[in-house]
Amino acid sequence: MKAICPELKFECVHSKYIIHDNGILEIQLADDYYFTIKDSKEITANIISITNGIPNKVMVVAGNLALCDEEARNYASTEESTNPITALAIVTNSLPQTIIANFIMKFQKPRIPTKVFNSVSNALQWLRSH
């Protein structure tokens, strides 16, 4: 079977959405962006729109120097935010991002299988196993 190239499905000011041939939705977050609750809810709406409301595996690739406010962090673990996702891989690009992501996960206890990675290939491999 011939592999299909990833397809860019949607792009907005804070994120790009790419569907991989294995059905995994990749979300690339913008560099140097401060995410608010409004942005987080928009990302959830975009996931639902792109996947036609069918829960899907998602890989979020953090942007350089990207931050989010407390309300956005809290929203990330809500039922509303996680319902459209069956498994979530978070790809960080710096040690501080990795430490913060792991710290948040420890206290917010994700409702879905969630893991932090420092490489896209490892994140995709983990998502394929779910």
User: Is there a contact between 22 and 123 (Cβ–Cβ < 8 Å)?
Assistant: no
pTM score, two decimals? 0.89
pLDDT in tens, 16-58: 999 987 889 999 999 999 999 999 999 999 999 999 999 999 9
User: Is there a contact between 29 and 102 (Cβ–Cβ < 8 Å)?
Assistant: no
Q: Could you tell me which CATH number the domain at 7-128 has?
A: 3.30.750.24
Q: Does the structure show a pLDDT above 50 at 3?
A: no
pLDDT in tens, 83-114: 999 999 999 988 888 888 888 888 888 889 99
Rounded to an integer, what distance in angstroms lies between the CA atom of residue 40 and that of residue 81? Answer: 8
> Where do the structural domains in the chain lie, given as residue ranges?
7-128
